[in-house]
A and B are shown apart, each in its own frame.
Chain A
């Protein structure tokens, strides 16, 4: 079948939605040679896949085992070992236990109580942005530093340590996604050294909280649940996961939302006239151009999707960004309608692995978008953004705007 199925070409990165539309229409469960994976693009199939026990999240352990067998250097296997413990790459019952132990820290009331702290951090970044004039990058100045600062503050880190959280977040992404190339090998080495620092930093922070518990999220993660609690190594892993999963995704949620509003001035006006619309507006912005294009699963048992047999050992890409534009689920899916309701998008996934930080991500995006819209009335796009050629995330290089 001659359907375009490489999602990492510059044209597919610039406009993935026309590629997704063609896939949904011509071959919704498609084997892609380019990705060596199945591309699942319709809402119903993506939705069902989240509940299909033939699809496993245990994706890092096989990579780690291969590396160990080939005698790869210990630093890389050390970081992979840390990631192997993340709940997001585990199946039940390991996943169930970790998720239960983490759930208390993400409870609705606890997240809602962070409102004032997040608003203050957003306003600090916008104050600095407003002091600048001419074209500025809203990502590097606001959307990128913001979530790392929120995570560092949430974990109770000292203000002077916050910049290191950003570096660690970049280093985690490099180790998780980055491979090949001599220049990259050098960066990889430095990233691994940085992450060893991160581990010892979190161990020290845990010891401090043990001696002196606080109201912060780390103290909440350390709490007992029944007879069980997270070990120190699991806590370090949880802190790293929080940073890895909560940083770039939130940056892109904010940046993609602002871009979508700038491209739909009628909807931007609508939000300015009715700021109370921010809740449903953010749901629609997440549906319309959310931060994640693709989630992966390993196939561990033979299963059938829309008549296609999918076999153990194969990989499946669940294309969230396509499911969210499926006309069988959403009326006029390519239109941005900030009042859309109901809006059962799958930007946060679904089922047992649904993003545990969804409430926090929503709140950060709501506050950031609302404050940007309110405080930057003259906001305008200064140049066409370029999209990164990556499979998993929907991510711009820069979002250059003017505000007066």
Chain B
């Protein structure tokens, strides 16, 4: 009677999680989530990571009321939310996500950024753990201010992790990655 399609099926969410782990372990690598995304890789990532035990700040109103209800996450201000959802093309402005503390660095927020496309934009050069030498990514629809802001937020072990999502793919920039334009 109640039928749930992707991205709400547990089997698909396990696949998405596997790809997110790979994407975090190899910063800048692109992963296709479209088989389990149900048309929205952004929603697939959130359905995989967010539940009633987490908090979410949807800065740009990217979620419909129904999707937000299905996720079940508590709404929270950007400064305390575990997950922040924002449009990459819009500058972070005065956004101040939780960077964690020295005793609890894992409390640093995860920022999920919706971009137009993971290729075709200005190149970003990545270095750090999980990267053999250097890697390049060129997301289109990511304001450079996000990279500048991130540099101020991340000071090992504190910081925030970025997950960049386009219509069907995902890539990650964990806090340990150094990014140069």
B is bound to A: no
